[in-house]
Structure 1
Amino acid sequence: MRSEPHHRATVRASRRLLGAIALLLSVASAQAAVDELRPYPRAKALGRYDNPLEAGALPISPPERAKGGNRTSRVRLPYEGAVSLVQYRHEADDSPLLIARHYAGLLRDQGFELVTICDIPCRSPDGAEDAGVYWFHELDLAKKLTWNYFGDRGMYLIGHRADAVVAIRVGAAHAGYASVIKTVSAPQLDRGPLLAYIDAQRAPAADAPLPPPPGRVAPSPQPPASAPAPNPFVKEVAPAELGAFVRNTKGWVVLQLSSHEPGCGYCVRANPTFNALAQHESPKGVSFVRVAFQPWTSVSGNEFAVQYGVSGLPTFFTFQDGQLMRRHQGIADEATLRKSLLDGLK
């Protein structure tokens, strides 16, 4: 006859087994609710890894140097659920931005909210250049895929909803491009770290005007600053004409989406730098164009901005004969802009 302690141990083991089975069934149900993303046209599958129950942490912030010299993501989203990791190679004449937009559209169709963690070329908070090997260590916990096809100088975006998170990495690799898609499905997913990170990125800029002290009346709003005198090296194009202008212009064009409003402090600081870059590079056969949004918040409703996923000002693009070649978001010095937008293209 079995002893009482042995009986209790058997009951506990049975309960753990039933709990594990229930978790696997709920995870499988959540996984089935996420349709696999259709590959980008002409994409070649390089590898795939599936784990019905993986425990890990999905990177949210870009990898940065930590103690010991390794690069890791400071902000992560812990998970326990079903995981799939797929890796593709893309042609040299494909556009990394269009690849990312392709996947983003498929995620929106499935009810995911999207956030761009870092744009092309992604940089870590410590300013280091983006490298696929850092993302390989963060995304491929089982080390099943090819590390040198996680893409360099790329972008990283995340789609999220209550039962799943999808991380998409697109970057340059071997004279072409590569994309990696990691899907985490879980019946109960704590998105707290991700939502907190998103809120922090949307916080007012350090140079934004502060609210008036309590008890004081806020001053009347000042009229927006008028546009500065025309710059002979920079062509100004109206926001409504932007899409047609890009489609119909031949040759090399560097485009700045910005504003002249003082309320957009980053825009005001970036405009003179763009003017200087135009003055130095225009004689080399490159056209420079600025689109100034007044008010600067109106960029969110612009058709071109929506099409190209513009999430803030200033944003810069390089086009050749209407095809997107480069992209940079945020303020930078002239040398960084030149490197991001022009170096190695001509």
Structure 2
Amino acid sequence: MTQSATWDYIRGSDKDGYAIAIATNNTVYESREVDPATALGLTFRHAFSLSDNLLLRSSLSAVHDQTWSRRSDALIWRERLDYDIGPLRLFTSVDTKVTTLNERNIFALGSFLPYPESFVTLSVLPGVLYRLSFGEIGVSLTASRTMFRFETDYLGLRRNNDRVQPNLFASATFWGIKVEGSLSYARVTFPAGDFDNLQRLLYTAKATIPLELFRLPIEKLTLELSSGRTLEDTTLPFSVINVSTLSDARLVAKFNPSHALTVFARRKDDEYVGLGARAVTTSLGAEYAYTFDGGLTAIVAGSWRYTQETGNIPVSSLNLQLGLSKRIDFSRTTTADASRATPAAPTTTR
């Protein structure tokens, strides 16, 4: 059974204000031999206009994620500078991420390592985008360096690595259909030569399609499709990079402002480069949300999950999720603006 809750505090605007977001998610399994899965997140964001065309955005996030096989803690500090010249925007962001990561390991007899791997990732991302009447298009370049606390890992291998990732991205809206995506070429190099260098094509793709043509007695029916391939860190033996591909399809039916039903299908493929191992998880489920007066949203969801891992017997499971979400908005708006504003729909993350 899964319980989740989110809380957002917003003050001011996206150009002059701050926000605090808290998210919790806890899954308790029927088998008492399996520890609960817990995810906690705290984010503070601040925006400050340096001039009419220059904007500074800051964020500080703390994330805790624990499952049966993985324990992770991260602290992320980001500074981003935006400069607008008409339809053109120049931007640069600098990130510092401190991570501790521990996963179940065959060299620990299937248990966790005696101590987690700790590492710092420094990255810089300059880019430019051009706004069009129907969307935007842009390019960026990410360069990062990951440095581990100890020179070698538990096998005596050096995991420090450098990454370079040029990126092309775009978004557009046509006839009510919203699409966005990106395409990038990632290159990971290991200066010590203990791991093979990696080159991989990465992407993100998302489409939101309103299905109003069916003229059903539903206020809003929407099909949401998304897919993405990213690089993730891992502490498994002989592997530093996990190439993760996630695809998701959701059909959202909004019967009225209070009632919404979502049916979803999801597939996640994790490839542990250098280890020759792969994990594939397929999920099917449905989610019902009811919004009370005052903005509190209750969520009930059920799903079936099937997991296949290299060297292990496939496992299937049923999951029940209960959640509460509430957004409190203290934005500085006039009375006239407030009367026209539509409250933002709260979101939950599983």
Q: Smaller-chain TM-score range?
A: under 0.3
TM-score normalized by the length of structure 2: 0.20
